[in-house]
Chain A
């Protein structure tokens, strides 16, 4: 079965780049524009992987990850967050919040696919 991935980012261009890369690799991609939308989307359907930005309006990525991990049905769903290398403290916080892994911006599509394969196993 095609793995379904939820991407949460407030930047449409970034979402577009992620979508193009992941659909090209054969994944099913759903998009959300911020943490609130992300939570709603994740609540409606269990995804195989969630990729989220941290810095977003309305609800940031950290809060969203914490909220997701509170829900029992989201246990074990891998969450990858996007970050910049300067954000080491942020990285620690996100991991503490329950994120599975991270991807450093800027990244090329190959890296994104590599990370997705790594946590999805397919």
Chain B
């Protein structure tokens, strides 16, 4: 987080506040009477208004002010909380998000519409005297401030003023700053020593103040104590002056100073007006990660150690020890650095991890809205929210998950009538869970709806020519059909889903994250989608191999086994590129041919068998060098379209190794298999 830009900090904070308001409102939707929740939402709105105005988000402050005023009636018990009110304030909250993200242009009408709904909701809720929205009281500029030649003042502070932090000497100093003063203390009310309370002020002061001083300036001096103190102010020369009563109101002179908060970056940044379309399109501007302090301390420790090792190294470089001793010392330093680099990497990766709770919580709103739109009763339950995933991963998982949850709610769950008829509870269940398994995180989206209709999938697949009519196909493969582009089984296209784009996009997105998607479904009992995604995008364990003169990295997670391609097998398989592996035919690709190395093949070639899901492909390489911690660098824009590579990495000797894209290679292998099958 940028520590010097309060506006950026405000955007992050406002995002959190909005989330908090949303969660509060959603909870409130279930427990309309809960005072604590009402207070929480109110406080969120209040803080948002106050901070928004501070940082130049005037439209936001204004809009939020109206919402706060309306909601304040609920808080004070003048109006009951209703579902309508909750829904309106939820949409108001979306509007606030749009106001924070955009420059507020073109949003006025949307805002006005929401305020009208809000008014309606409050009126309907029985708030008798309606009209919140009273414009802030006109600032009481105290009439024409008469300039006098001078003033005669007397003041005496309330008894507790000194204990409460008002120092009369400073008031006198301030008066002196205004002009020439003659000050006389009135000591007649000082009690006898026995009765004297040292923290109280018993002295009054007469002051003759000369100069061209406005009455407002004097009031400014006493602004904080004006209400309770004894104060008389008379002009020295008889000139018209306003009465004291009016002067007493001028306590808001402070607020009259126009707010001139610089608007620079606050308004200029994200050039994306228009309301946010939903919780999924969460703020992408100003990426920042919140990090617990102890993790930073840990990082600092490592860096400290690194500095020490570095100084040992410089000492060694400039020293004159014996060659043998130097070599030993160098080796120990090298080991030390290796350990530290590993620890630094691990600590660094942990810094980027955020719990999936931040992802899951977005979906509560989604499900709430979906339930309203479809007229179904849906309960969302979550599990394993503390599982941590890389920050980037969370952002990129949001869209596919929105789609999957929409599918579950829209296609999966039945209407309450159908559910009753099927003997199920009326409320449909959508369950999200996350847990870590090795270097992967499994995210499961489960519904207890009707399940996937196999007949319909088959009919559709046949109609689209994906399978031959009557062709036998395993249940698993049949279900995979829904990931084909342009495939949708919804008989009726609804507002929510069923446009036939989606599942293929979901699959592609997940695979671009080096993850995998799998679906299982039991008719009448529901469907389960499992997403398997790696913990991080930045570093992988890789298997370093050599093909010709080039070195390549295969993500270790995808590697099933390595075996030798014996000469006779090589000869036998020539032309068809299959090996028999435990009674299964596995197609293999000769990377030498794909990469056109043009060198002589190694006498002992190896096969690395890689897999995605249940599909396997062997890659023939010249040499297996070993496992390698791979820091992924993305390809240059020129090479981004090269399908077979997922990126590149830099090796210890400074050379570059390309990282193979496993999903693409498996597809290539499978296509080759199909081609050969078709041919033979």
Contact = CB atoms under 8 A, between A and B. Distances in A.
Q: Do A and B come from one complex?
A: yes
Interface of A: 10-14, 16-17, 20, 53, 55, 57, 69, 75-79, 82, 84-86, 95, 98-108, 110-111, 115, 118-119, 121
A95 B257 contact: no
A106 B47 contact: no
B6 interface: yes
A57 to B, nearest CB: 7
Chain A: interface secondary structure? mixed
Contacts of A111: 254, 257
B164 A99 contact: yes
Contacts of A75: 163, 199
Contacts of A95: 227-228
Given A57-B43, A119-B165, A121-B167, A101 B223 contact: yes
A98 B164 contact: yes
Contacts, number: 111
Contact of B165 (A20, A77, A107): A77
A76 B642 CA distance: 73
Contacts of B252: 85, 104
Interface of B: 3-4, 6-7, 9-10, 12-13, 43, 46-47, 49-51, 53-55, 61, 136-137, 160, 162-167, 169-170, 173-174, 199, 223-224, 227-228, 252, 254-255, 257, 259-261
B51 A13 contact: yes
Residue with the greatest number of chain B CB neighbours at <10 A, chosen from A86, A98, A106: A106
Contact of A121 (B54, B173, B259): B173
A101 B163 CA distance: 13
B6 A20 contact: yes
B51 A11 contact: yes
Contact of A105 (B53, B163, B165, B224): B53
Contacts of A53: 50
A101 B251 CA distance: 11
B176 to A, nearest CB: 12
B529 to A, nearest CB: 38
Contacts of A102: 224
Contact of B9 (A12, A104, A105, A119): A12
A78 B61 contact: no
A54 to B, nearest CB: 9
B505 to A, nearest CB: 37
Given A17-B55, A100-B164, A108-B257, A118 B9 contact: no
A69 B54 contact: no
Closest 8 CB pairs of A and B: A78-B165, A100-B165, A101-B224, A106-B53, A13-B10, A13-B9, A104-B255, A17-B6
B13 A106 contact: no
Nearest to A49: B165
29 contacts: A11-B51, A12-B13, A13-B7, A13-B12, A13-B55, A14-B50, A14-B54, A16-B3, A17-B55, A76-B165, A76-B167, A77-B165, A78-B165, A78-B166, A79-B164, A84-B50, A85-B136, A86-B136, A95-B227, A95-B228, A100-B164, A105-B50, A106-B50, A106-B54, A106-B261, A108-B257, A118-B170, A119-B170, A119-B224
Contacts of A103: 254
A69 B164 contact: yes
A111 B136 CA distance: 20
Contacts of B174: 118
B20 to A, nearest CB: 10
B36 to A, nearest CB: 11
Nearest to B164: A98
B227 A85 contact: no
A108 B50 contact: no
Contacts of A10: 47
A119 B174 CA distance: 10
Contacts of B199: 75-76
A105 B9 CA distance: 18
A84 B137 CA distance: 12
Given A13-B13, A17-B55, A106-B53, 14 more contacts: A13-B10, A13-B54, A16-B3, A17-B54, A55-B46, A76-B165, A78-B166, A100-B224, A104-B255, A107-B54, A107-B255, A111-B257, A118-B170, A121-B170
A61 to B, nearest CB: 12
A104 B528 CA distance: 54
Nearest to A119: B165
Residue with the greatest number of chain B CB neighbours at <10 A, chosen from A13, A76, A102: A13
B254 A55 contact: no
A82 B61 CA distance: 16
B165 A84 contact: no
A22 B490 CA distance: 61
B9 A16 contact: yes
Contacts of B166: 78, 100-101, 119
A14 B51 contact: yes
Contacts of B61: 106
A108 B260 contact: yes
A20 B174 CA distance: 26
A76 to B, nearest CB: 6
Given A69-B163, A78-B166, A101-B224, A20 B9 contact: no
B276 to A, nearest CB: 21
B590 to A, nearest CB: 58
Contacts of B224: 100-102, 119
B261 A108 contact: yes
A71 to B, nearest CB: 11
A9 B541 CA distance: 45
